[in-house]
Amino acid sequence: MTRSIKRIVICTGGGDAPGLNAVIRAVVLASANRGWECYGIHDGFNGILFPERYPEGGVFRLTRERVRGIAHLGGTILGTTNRGNPLHYPTRMPDGNMGEVDRSGEILDYFATQELDALVSVGGDGSLTIADALHKRGLRVVGVPKTIDNDLDKTVTTFGFDTAVSFATECLDRLHSTAESHQRVLVVEVMGRYAGWIALHSGIAGNAHTILLPEIPFDLDKVVQQIRARDDDGHLYSLVVVAEGAIPLEGDLEIAAAAQAGHEQRLGGMGEHVAKELEQRTGKQARVVVLGHLLRGGSPTSFDRIAALRFGAAAVRALDQGLSGVMVALASPNVNFVPLAEVAGRMKAVPLDGDTVQTARDLGICLGD
């Protein structure tokens, strides 16, 4: 018989996103209010795999005091890493080359020897895939969907996305006046990995004239036509939002850094490419602004803060109800629980038949097709 819960652990993995601290606070308070103890792991699972790195221990007690006044802060008080997948841990192999080893057994042993009853894993696809694997190996696990990219399936949205979109929108608002004053093409590259959610939503909200998404391979001639048409109408500037994962019809992704053992490839550079091409083809000055990690920083918006607090509290309720192997999901107006197996390894792309893409088209925004 599984013992009743007394001590739970929370970890944050992958790229940070605004709202992580709000989840941590909600998990700690909801646990404390049930008489449970809550612990945090430093830097994903590194606190367990490399305890010697942490003077206070790799796993540490999270009390009410420790999480006071953190819900509005960006980042994560636990630290995070997107290079610490315990299922594929980057390790120097006997032949001297880097390889990957499965260190999940060390995590399971730690939970057993320290009498820790369950894990709340807050992360994106990578972290939730790890959570699913740990659940299948016998650990009680509940996942919480985090990513600015909004590319997780089975949830209306992830926390972090709204903050990223709000900031990108504010940047676009600011760029209109300088683009117009100089009669330039302003190209704004946004993160989002292989999905165009941030680009699409910020582009529409920020009145971009063109939005290039990974989901729609783009033809630069179409963008040039749009810029010329605007010129002909006397609007001598244009704003182009480019998702970092956008792909030209006849071309490839722009890779900033190739994949390495334990780490996925890093995207970046498509904004620069598009700006150069547009400058050449239109004869207008073009400038590129890469928003990059700015989208991951700062205070969570109230939407993300509430989503994160709801997700954290719901994760504890799920454990209290005896659930495991599930992810908390937003199923507006409520949250529900979906099997991790239905989320892990799947990417939610922007649906091309959805009304948001249709809205962009109806507004006359060029999508590069």
Catalytic positions, written as ranges: 149
Kind and range of the H or E element at 54?
none
CA–CA dist 228, 284 (Å, integer)? 10
Q: Could you tell me the smallest distance in angstroms from the CB atom of residue 296 to ligand F6P?
A: 5
Restricted to residues 130-159, the positions that interact with ligand F6P (CB under 6 A) are: 147-149
22-30, 41-49, 187-195, 219-227 -> range binding ligand F6P (CB under 6 A) = 187-195
- Tell me the residue nearest to ligand F6P as measured from the CB: 191
Q: Residue 96: how many CB atoms within 10 A of its CB?
A: 6
Restricted to residues 247-266, the positions that interact with ligand F6P (CB under 6 A) are: 266
Q: Is 312 in the site for ligand F6P (CB under 6 A)?
A: no
Sequence-distant contacts of 110-113: CB under 8 A, at least 24 apart? 110/48, 110/59, 111/9, 111/139
CA–CA dist 105, 292 (Å, integer)? 35
Identify whether 333 is preceded by a cis peptide bond (ω within 30 of 0).
yes
Q: Could you tell me the smallest distance in angstroms from the CB atom of residue 202 to ligand F6P?
A: 13
**CB nearer to ligand F6P: pick between 68 and 293:** 293
Amino acid identity of residue 293, one-letter, is: H
Q: Is 13 in the site for ligand F6P (CB under 6 A)?
A: no
User: Cα–Cα distances in Å, from 169 out to 185, 266, 340?
Assistant: 17, 23, 32
Picking from 336, 15, 268, the residue whose alpha carbon sits closest to that of residue 150 is 15
What are the φ and ψ backbone dihedral angles of 255, each rounded to 5 degrees? -105, 125
What is the C-alpha end-to-end distance of the chain, expressed in Å?
Answer: 58
**CB nearer to ligand F6P: pick between 82 and 210:** 82
Residue from 267, 278, 290, 366 in contact with ligand F6P (CB under 6 A) = 267
Q: Residue 192: how many CB atoms within 10 A of its CB?
A: 30
Q: Could you tell me the smallest distance in angstroms from the CB atom of residue 169 to ligand F6P?
A: 16
CA–CA dist 128, 325 (Å, integer)? 10
DSSP 156: S
**CB nearer to ligand F6P: pick between 117 and 304:** 304
Kindly state the number of chain residues that form the binding site for ligand F6P, as judged by CB under 6 A. 13
**CB nearer to ligand F6P: pick between 9 and 144:** 144
Q: Could you tell me the smallest distance in angstroms from the CB atom of residue 79 to ligand F6P?
A: 13
Residue from 25, 296, 305, 310 in contact with ligand F6P (CB under 6 A) = 296
CA–CA dist 40, 165 (Å, integer)? 29
101-109, 186-194, 216-224, 229-237 -> range binding ligand F6P (CB under 6 A) = 186-194
Residue from 15, 40, 86, 325 in contact with ligand F6P (CB under 6 A) = 15
CA–CA dist 240, 145 (Å, integer)? 29
46-54, 67-75, 191-199, 314-322 -> range binding ligand F6P (CB under 6 A) = 191-199
Q: Could you tell me the smallest distance in angstroms from the CB atom of residue 93 to ligand F6P?
A: 23
Q: Could you tell me the smallest distance in angstroms from the CB atom of residue 338 to ligand F6P?
A: 20
**CB nearer to ligand F6P: pick between 149 and 215:** 149
β-strand 326-331 against 141-145: which pairing, if any? parallel
Burial class (CB in 10 A: 0-12, 13-18, 19+), 99: middle
**CB nearer to ligand F6P: pick between 125 and 132:** 125
Binding site for ligand F6P (CB under 6 A): 15, 82, 124, 147-149, 191-193, 244, 266-267, 296
